Amino acid sequence: MNTAAAIPAAASRSFKDVWLISAGHGLTHWYTATFYLLLPLIGKELGLSYTEIGFIMSVQHLAGAISNLPGGMLVDMVGRKGHLMAASLFWVGFPYALMSLTHNFWLLLLCVTLVGIGNNLWHPAAIPTLAHRYPERRGLVLSFHGMGGNLGEALAPFVVGALLAWFSWRAVVVINVVPGIVMAVLILVMLGAFTMARGKDDGAMNAGGEARGVKDYLHDFAGLLRNKALVLLSCSSAFRTMTQVGLLTFLPVYLAYELNYSPFVVGIYLTLLQVAGLVASPIGGHLSDKMGRKRVVISSMMLTGVMIVGMALAGKSAAFVLFIALVGFFLYAMRPVLQAWAVESTPKKLAGTGVGLQFGIQAIGASIAPAIFGMIADASDIYTAFYFIAGTIIFANLLVFFMPNGAAAQAKPAAA
């Protein structure tokens, strides 16, 4: 009876962890969404071209690509997941505050490089922790984590857009440090309390519950690089992320430069995109648990490409708003599904590294997309560049066709 009573209690505690970690994830995306909204203002003040604006985001994501894999290794070898998540929140927020002191392009690049490193420490610690506590509901639980990101990206443009009516962008980035510091403290305190309640210190363990040394880790790492399913998923995620980052970087620029919308109105459009993603994330995660990952990913990617083309064709018409919502819905519906699929394709003892590898490869894609988009927009026009990012999601879909229809594809839990 004691054992039976302990099971629901443990589930209750772990679900508190879900909400806490998801809220922290929301803050990491809050900062990213803030910068997307501020970028047109910064670009005008510094006199930046489309190519230079794209290069800024490329540098940020390239820094993330370089830091993701070492971050995953760190999680698997030394653990301390709560500390890493708290450090990530602080590391993301503080460089944005430093931007208030920048008056040239190169110092701005330094700040976004620091942001890219900090932001990508989060996922290798958070995603395996959640996925392995709910092996039968990975898609749904990771959709809650994804919803946290969508909520942060939905609220930030609205709140920051309103703040810009009273403050300069330099004042806003300083004010914006406060929520990250508060959440970092909450994660340190509350995750520590949960660990004490469980009666053990699992901070030095990986997602599989094992304490592992460097020698054991290096022995298994080479095999992870030969994992065909994980590499294919990571490459598909990279092209999907090219679509997302290209859209998030230049949609606000398009609205501000081409349509002459105010920062507040631009913020409303970005909020609409993220609210649609917020609704889609649990739907996609739940359907993938029931129907299989592959079916949900393929249909979502196909419809995303169609909606981006529709958005570009709609131009200044009222249909443009509808297409933005539909793009957000289908683009974000597949995100937790790809993450759950990757975790299922990775051994538990290398879960953090598997997530780091997936996010590292997709960050390479994210670093390429804004620069190419900017060059296409400067050489031709911004509408042609939107067709380019529609093509990236179509190519991502082609890679999914090569995925095996094994256990992971059918949404079954991976073996320990």
In a domain, 348, yes or no: yes
Question: Residue 90: which domain range?
Answer: 2-197+223-400
pLDDT of residue 76: 64
In a domain, 214, yes or no: no
Instruction: Judge residue 216's burial from the number of C-beta atoms within 10 Å of its C-beta, 0-12 exposed, 13-18 middle, 19 or more buried.
Output: middle
pLDDT of residue 314: 81
pLDDT digits 0-9 by tens, 70-95: 766 666 665 566 677 777 777 777 88
In a domain, 217, yes or no: no
**Greater confidence, 263 or 196?**
263
| pLDDT at 374 > cutoff 50 | yes
User: Does the pTM of the predicted model rise above 0.85?
Assistant: no
Q: What percent of the chain has pLDDT over 70?
A: 81
pLDDT of residue 27: 83
SS (H, E, C) 43-64: HHHHCCCHHHHHHHHHHHHHHH
In a domain, 216, yes or no: no
**Greater confidence, 83 or 111?**
111
In a domain, 323, yes or no: yes
pLDDT of residue 226: 77
Instruction: List all residues 6 or more positions away from 75 whose beta carbon is below 8 Å from its beta carbon.
Output: 81, 84, 124, 125, 128, 206, 207, 352, 353, 356
pLDDT digits 0-9 by tens, 123-166: 777 777 777 777 777 777 788 887 887 788 778 878 888 888 88
Least confident of 69-83, 199-213, 350-364: 199-213
| pLDDT at 5 > cutoff 60 | no
Most confident of 23-32, 108-117, 370-379, 407-416: 370-379
Rounded to an integer, the average pLDDT of 366-380 is: 87
Domain total of the chain: 1
Rounded to an integer, the average pLDDT of 254-260 is: 84
Contact 50, 374 (CB under 8 A): yes
| pLDDT at 413 > cutoff 50 | no
Q: What are phi and psi of 334, to 5 degrees?
A: -90, -15
Alpha carbon 254 to its chain centroid, in Å, reads 22
pLDDT of residue 186: 80
In a domain, 405, yes or no: no
In a domain, 413, yes or no: no
Rounded to an integer, the average pLDDT of 333-337 is: 84
Contact 285, 343 (CB under 8 A): no
Residue 75 is part of a domain; what is its CATH number? 1.20.1250.20
Rounded to an integer, the average pLDDT of 35-58 is: 85
pLDDT of residue 201: 43
| pLDDT at 386 > cutoff 60 | yes
Q: What six digits make up the tokens of 112?
A: 């976004």
In a domain, 364, yes or no: yes
pLDDT digits 0-9 by tens, 296-315: 888 888 898 888 888 878 86
Q: What are phi and psi of 232, to 5 degrees?
A: -65, -45
pLDDT band at 6 (very low <50, low <70, confident <90, very high): very low
pLDDT of residue 216: 63
* Arithmetic mean of pLDDT over the chain: 77
